Structure 1
Amino acid sequence: MDAIAENRLVRDSEAAGILGCSKATFWRRVADGTIPKPLKIGGMSRWPTSEIFAVIEAAKAQREN
């Protein structure tokens, strides 16, 4: 993944889509710490795609243990 793609900011609906869950489930996982809290930019909540893909990699690593 190139640097621009890694640092692309996505909203909750897009991040939830990447993870294959609903927005409600996504926000529950933010609340329980499974997913990092968002960056706040002018009142908007956004996540770097690198953090969303890190959640996937962590789940894969946990599965393999």
Structure 2
Amino acid sequence: MSAIHIDPLIRDRDAAGMLGCSKATFWRRVADGTIPKPVKIGGMSRWPQSEITEVIERVKSEREG
């Protein structure tokens, strides 16, 4: 039996906190395509935590490369 991996969905304020920026800056980065668009559930906007982690890893690798 294989384990199911759950990728938590996080709010904009939590994602902004991971990135160390304000919610306003976070939404500007969504608008300019730096951060993926949210998953919409009804009127809620959420991001898979792994996508925010991928953004962090991508910019780290661009800095190092």
So what's the TM-score if we normalise by structure 1? Answer: 0.91
- Alignment-derived partner of residue 54 in structure 2: 54
Q: Which has the larger radius of gyration?
A: 2
The runs of at least 4 aligned residues of structure 1 exceeding 2 Å deviation read none
Shift of 1:47: 0.1
Higher helix share: 1
Ranges in structure 1 where 5+ consecutive residues have no aligned partner:
none
Identical counterparts, % of pairs? 73
Aligned residue-pair number:
62
Ranges in structure 2 where 5+ consecutive residues have no aligned partner:
none
Provide, for residues 4-61 of structure 1, a one-character-per-residue CA deviation record: whole Å limited to 9, x for no partner: 2xx1000100000011000000000000000000000011000000000000000111
Tell me how large the CA RMSD over aligned residues is: 1.2
So what's the TM-score if we normalise by structure 2? Answer: 0.91
Counterpart secondary structure, 2:37:
coil
